Amino acid sequence: MWGRHREAFSMYKRMPSRDHSTLVDDVEENSALLQNSMDVETTNPSWLLSFPHVVVATISSLLFGYHLGVVNEPLESISIDLGFRGNTLAEGLVVSTCLGGAFIGSLFSGWIADSAGRRRAFQLCALPMIIGAATSATTRTLAGMLIGRFLVGTGMGIGPPVASLYLAEVSPASLRGTYGSFIQIATCLGLMGALFIGIPVREIAGWWRICFWVSTVPAGILAFAMIFCAESPHWLYKKGRSAEAEAEFERLLGGSHVKYAMLELSKLDRGDEADTVKLSEVFRGRHFRVVYIGSTLFALQQLSGINAVFYFSSSVFKSAGVPSDVANALIGVANLTGSIVAMLLMDKLGRKLLLLWSFFGMTMSMVLQVAAANSYVSGSGSLYLSVGGMLMFVLTFALGAGPVPGLLLPEIFPNRIRAKAMAFCMSVHWVINFFVGLLFLRLLEQLGPQLLYSIFASVCMMAVIFVKKNVMETKGKSLQEIEIALLPPE
């Protein structure tokens, strides 16, 4: 405990004299409170208090994963029933329209989370998902399907950044990594749920409508259960509602930890939100570095080729004689297994180490894919390398590159810009995701698998170097300690 305060104090000593004097005054004012909270902070808050709130929030990630995969199995049946069978453009639009909606939703997610609060943002995320899913389930036309998919996409765009914000702000520092991994696990479960619910579509006519109706249940639960969940104390304090922030800290951490939590919060945030955060603040001055780190991490995550693997893995497995449903199940199991291991290790090994080994493992996996595409490798050897490399790629992605950026970004962003910075970084995520999905098959055809997979391997190796040089370890640190370490004083 004292080690952390000595570390923070050493940072203060390097600041200009006028800032140093201000901080000395703050230390003197809070010394009595700090002394009283010393014994409390040596024990971590009980996970039982915050766990229910975190579980409800991750329903948004379950829905996110479900809607990403819900049309994969039923797409042929949908095209027959709605009259666009054989129209590859229409089929592509049914799959990708939700990505356009997600981009729009992510652009507004920061404004919604800052103005309405985190809880209300979850409810506003669930609403278009319910309306959009119902529209898709009842439509008789392609236009109706596209409208429904777009509405669902807007909810998908709002949900992930708000979930990352909320989990970072309501979780005890000792559990923030574990709870952050719940987002990736819930997304995996949603993807696998979409796969299994879509299996009967081949035997039961019109079953694809049930696939859409099913998603309205968890969306309704999310909207209703959020009424009983805690609001983010960080958001309340930023709005000047300190008494409510204390009450929510008591619900999340227990009464004995409230004073210390409020002291930590007051180190940098003064509870004065009279001046609105401008979008330009996200891209310049003292905030530029953390936004650069966050947006680059998301860009490298998507440019690694992970979504190309998710979208087009069936063709690789089919060439190896593996049925598509078995292939999807294997990908889902690899993704879920990696996510569970990441959850267990996140607060033990830390974010940076998981990121480094994850991107390095993805590099080696792509090297296997390059070897599989080499003409000197025999047929059966090539298939084993290709399938093994793909499963290893998904597994190592889920160990770090998948869950860590969504957790790390709200940790490194200061409270003042956190929501809007997350919105910007998620927009980068969706734009690159869209273009990777759009161009992958064309690039595979033009460049060939060896060169394309070599490019993906190079991107993963660049990510290793970037993480090594730019990412700080946030394990066990409060959000205020992280902000002090990363940002120079104003």
Same domain, 434 and 328: yes
In tens, the pLDDT along 373-410 reads 775 556 666 777 777 888 899 999 999 998 899 888 88
Same domain, 87 and 151: yes
Contact 449, 373 (CB under 8 A): yes
* pTM score above 0.75: yes
Asked if residue 358 belongs to a domain, the reply is yes
- pLDDT for 279 equals 63
Asked if residue 242 belongs to a domain, the reply is no
How far apart are the C-alpha atoms of 123 and 115, rounded to whole Å?
Answer: 14
In tens, the pLDDT along 61-92 reads 999 999 988 887 788 899 899 988 888 788 87
Both tokens of 96, joined, read: 């990708």
How far apart are the C-alpha atoms of 55 and 482, rounded to whole Å?
Answer: 25
- pLDDT for 313 equals 65
**What is the rounded end-to-end Cα distance, in angstroms, of the chain?**
27
User: What residue has token string 């499963």?
Assistant: 391
Domain span holding position 479: 278-489
Asked if residue 267 belongs to a domain, the reply is no
pLDDT of 15 higher than 50 = no
In tens, the pLDDT along 153-164 reads 999 999 988 998
Asked if residue 38 belongs to a domain, the reply is no
How far apart are the C-alpha atoms of 368 and 374, rounded to whole Å?
Answer: 10
Same domain, 73 and 185: yes
In terms of Cβ atoms closer than 10 Å to its own Cβ (0-12, 13-18, 19+), residue 244 is middle
Lowest mean pLDDT among 24-28, 366-370, 403-407, 420-424: 24-28
How far apart are the C-alpha atoms of 402 and 335, rounded to whole Å?
Answer: 9
Asked if residue 468 belongs to a domain, the reply is yes
Same domain, 330 and 479: yes
Smallest Cα–Cα separation from 364: which of 159, 372, 436? 372
Asked if residue 8 belongs to a domain, the reply is no
Asked if residue 250 belongs to a domain, the reply is no
Percentage of residues of the chain with pLDDT beyond 90: 36
Using the 3D structure, point to which of 191, 214, 230 is the last residue of a domain.
230
Smallest Cα–Cα separation from 234: which of 424, 414, 58? 414
Smallest Cα–Cα separation from 159: which of 191, 107, 131, 121? 121
> 59: how many CB neighbours lie within 10 A of its CB?
23
Tell which wins on pLDDT, 314 or 4: 314
Both tokens of 323, joined, read: 């049925």
- pLDDT for 34 equals 43
How far apart are the C-alpha atoms of 305 and 449, rounded to whole Å?
Answer: 12
pLDDT of 177 higher than 90 = no
Same domain, 372 and 456: yes
- pLDDT for 238 equals 86
**Average pLDDT score, the chain:** 82
Asked if residue 14 belongs to a domain, the reply is no
Q: What is the CATH number of the domain that holds 317?
A: 1.20.1250.20
- pLDDT for 474 equals 86
User: What residue has token string 């766990």?
Assistant: 51
pLDDT of 1 higher than 80 = no
Q: Total structural domains in the chain?
A: 2
Same domain, 207 and 301: no
Taking the CA atoms of the chain, what radius of gyration do you get in angstroms?
Answer: 23
pLDDT of 12 higher than 60 = no
Same domain, 217 and 304: no
pLDDT of 223 higher than 70 = yes
- pLDDT for 376 equals 58
Average pLDDT over residues 281-296: 80
Same domain, 295 and 396: yes
Q: How confident is the model at residue 18 (pLDDT cuts 50, 70, 90)?
A: very low
How far apart are the C-alpha atoms of 134 and 113, rounded to whole Å?
Answer: 25
Same domain, 288 and 346: yes
Same domain, 326 and 424: yes
Same domain, 340 and 439: yes
Residue type, 367: V
Same domain, 188 and 333: no
> 154: how many CB neighbours lie within 10 A of its CB?
27
SS3 of residue 140 by DSSP = coil
Lowest mean pLDDT among 35-39, 122-126, 319-323, 461-465: 35-39
Using the 3D structure, point to which of 230, 264, 286 is the last residue of a domain.
230
Could you tell me where the DSSP H helices lie in 350-402? 351-372, 379-396
How far apart are the C-alpha atoms of 189 and 347, rounded to whole Å?
Answer: 22
Contact 91, 191 (CB under 8 A): no
